[in-house]
Structures are given as structure tokens and as C-alpha cells.
Amino acid sequence: MDHFEYRDGKLFCEDVPVRAIAKKVGTPFYLYSHATFARHFNVFDGAFSQIPHIVCYSLKANPNGALLRIIAKSGGGADIVSGGELYRALGAGIPADRIVYSGVGKTPEELRYAIESGIRMINMESESEFKTLRRLSRKMKRRVPVSIRVNPEIDPKTHPYITTGLKKNKFGILWEDAARIYREIAAEEYLEPVGISSHIGSQILELGPFVEAITSLKKMVLELRGLGMAIEMLDIGGGLGITYKDELPPEPKDYAKVVNENLGDIGITLVLEPGRVIVGNSGVFVTKMLYVKQTAGKTFYIVDGAMNDLVRPSLYNAYHDIVPVEQKKRKAKVVDLVGPICESGDFLAKDRELQGLKEGELVAVKSAGAYGYAMSSNYNSRRRAAEVLVRGDEFFVVRKRETLKDLIRGEKTPSFLEVE
């Protein structure tokens, strides 16, 4: 259950009518259900209750501080890929010993910040990063728990832009190189090889690729232990898919079952990095009809939300279900739902059958909790949308809509261009 439902033809988020929020907050805005988000986290976490584990929520999916507070209060951790995400996670109360850091381009400054913060593990993604960490650890004389993100060369059968475990991808290190680097790490005074990590992709809808990855990683763990390394953590990443249209992704309990069966009792703590599966269907994007435009053979519904707000349809040709905030007994139309951006690629749906809508009416773009606001921008000098969290019969603005002044915050005009 995602806690977005119709009551007497009106869309509610938990016990709050969406239209009432729009009237107060304006449009467009992102809307999250506290009950859905918390339930998704608890279901995922509970599925692995028989295995020592840490659920490290993937901030890149949606880093809103209110959602991170829910993670912290639920006992979760954080999967981060930047110093900014580390700052957010710590600020939301997520303990440093529940934070793992991946990413191919960590700067020396970011790595220093992570070391000083005492996070649980840094997942190295290249030999050059190993050399940087070696230099920093020696200089700082600080113990640094590390793993290597191994590229297992497994096809996750998902969109090529979100595939990360193939040889041609920029992520991770092939095992023959990783094994050599692990031996070098073990010889270091301050670097401590505590884990091994992998992440094969996102929006994965089959269990087979996960089984392949677990089987491969288990062999690597045992090989490293045979060399005397106390590998205690196995980071298997995230990637479990969700339903956008008619997909039938595995349930967390089924995922946990195959992980447990194929991993066995090797005395290791699992690190899991779910993002989309927790937050994706916890949120919708609400936008208002501005105009109906009819051309030869084509009807456009022009709304005040755009690709700068939700880029997934334009970037991936991704499908998001779109529903009216108020159901009306009107004939459906096949339309393109588009925004005001000056790009032909600015669309939320193409050739979609939608309820007939009039100017000023609202629609909700579903499954927008993940990679929605997180990937938004100020393109065309558009202000980024508000974010709202509902809990029961109350709603809270957890990020204000940007102002026009926010658009130029940080800019500075050189003196020779000042108006006299």
C-alpha cells in the first residue's frame, strides 16, 4: 500500500486531500507519504532480520533531510557518493558508523572529511583512489576501514544508463586487479581491509543477477580470508526495482531469501543500499494544467511542471503513471503532457490516454519519490519545486519553493559591470 488513494473521486495522501495542499503551497510540488516511506524501510529491513546487516539508504535517490530523519529514527544508515551527502547524513542524525561511501570521483578533501568523521567504510573504485587514501592515512595517522568495489561483470538486464556492473562501465575494479590491491592494502599501517563491495545496477526486476553477484562475491570473501584478511562486511549494493507501470519486481522477502540461501553462514555483516525501492513509490509530483493546445493531429496538455523538475521521462524515456487529482466523468484523450521548458524533450508523458482536463486542474505524476527532486535543476531559470511530507492528517513543507532571489544566490557582478 502506498497511501495515495481516491476518496469520493478526490486524491488523498494519507488523510490529507492533495488539492488542499496545492491550494496552500502552490504548484508544482513533490509530495511524500511518511507512512509509505517508513513502511517500505521497515519491510526491507525486516526481510533481512535473520542475517547480520545494515540497511544504508541511498541518498542519491532522495536526500531530503526529513526523509533522512526517518531513516535515522528507524535505525538505518546511509550510502553516500559525495561529501555533500555525508554532510546531509550526519546532519540528519545518521551515525557515522552506519555510513558507507562509494563513488568513482571522491576528491582528497571529501576523503579527508570521511576519515575525520569516522565513517564505517570507504569503498574504493580505482587504484588511483587507493594511492590517495594511502597518502592521506599516512599523513593523518588515522585508521581507515576500506573495501574495494569489485566489478563482477554481471548484466543486470536494466536500462543501460543505470547498469553499473559490466566491464565497459566506469564503476568498480575487475577482480584480478582488486585482489592485487587488497594485498597492498593489507601491508599498510593505517588502511584496514574490512569489506568487499559491489553494485550491479538499478531498477533490477529479476533475482538471477543478484544470485550471480552474491555467488561471485562469496568466493572473493573466502579467498581474501584465506590470505589472512579479516573481511567482516559484504556490501551488495542496492538496485531492487519498483513498479512504475506493469513491472513485477521481486519482494524484499524473496530477495533476502535468495541472498541468505546463496551466501550461507560465513559470519559476515551485509551492507544493503536500497534507495528507489524505499522512496520511489513514497512520493508523487503534483503539477497544474496551464493550457490545452491543439495542433493538427496532436493535443498538448501544458502544465507548470517540467523536465527541470522531473527529468526521468526526458532522460530515460521513463514511464510514470499520471492521474488526475480529481476524477471527472469526462471522455479520455490521447495527449502529450508537456512543460514550459524550451526543449522538445520537455515532456512528462507522450501519447498518453488521460482524463479530459481543464485549465487550472491538477495531475499527480506517480512513483516520483526517487530521482525526482534529487535530479532537478534551475534550467530556464525556473525555481525548484517545494517538497511536502504528509503524516496522518497533517502536512509539512520540508523544503520551501525557491524564490527568484534564490536563482542568483552566490552570483557576484564584477565592479566594471556595476550599473552607475
Within 10 angstroms of residue 212's Cβ, the number of other Cβ atoms is 18
Q: Indicate which residue of 1, 296, 342, 404 is catalytic.
A: 342
| Grid cell digits, residue 18 | 492533495
Nearest CA to 359 out of 287, 289, 286 is that of 289
CA dihedral for 394, 303, 318, 247, sign (positive or negative): positive
| N-terminal to C-terminal alpha carbon distance within the chain | 61
| Residue 71: φ, ψ to 5° | -60, -50
Over residues 257-300, the pLDDT tens digits come to 999 999 988 999 999 999 999 999 999 999 999 999 999 889 99
CA dihedral for 149, 150, 151, 157, sign (positive or negative): negative
Q: Residue 34's pLDDT is what?
A: 98
| Grid cell digits, residue 365 | 505524476
Q: Residue 155's pLDDT is what?
A: 55
**How far, in Å, are 134, 220, 338, 357, 394 from residue 192 at the CA level?**
11, 17, 52, 60, 47
Q: Residue 174's pLDDT is what?
A: 87
pTM above 0.75, yes or no: yes
Q: Residue 353's pLDDT is what?
A: 96
Q: Which domains does the chain have, with CATH numbers?
A: 4-32+280-407 (2.40.37.10), 34-276 (3.20.20.10)
Nearest CA to 268 out of 186, 147, 177 is that of 147
Q: What residues form DSSP beta bridges with 365? A: 285, 322
Within 10 angstroms of residue 83's Cβ, the number of other Cβ atoms is 19
Q: Is 13 a catalytic residue?
A: no
| Grid cell digits, residue 392 | 496522518
Residues of the chain with pLDDT under 70: 153-171
Q: Are 371 and 312 in contact (CB under 8 A)?
A: yes
Within 10 angstroms of residue 363's Cβ, the number of other Cβ atoms is 28
| Grid cell digits, residue 58 | 541511498
Determine the Cα–Cα distance for residues 69 and 60; give it in Å rounded to an integer.
Answer: 15
Within 10 angstroms of residue 402's Cβ, the number of other Cβ atoms is 15
Dihedral Cα 138, 142, 145, 146, nearest 10 deg: -30
Q: Residue 171's pLDDT is what?
A: 57
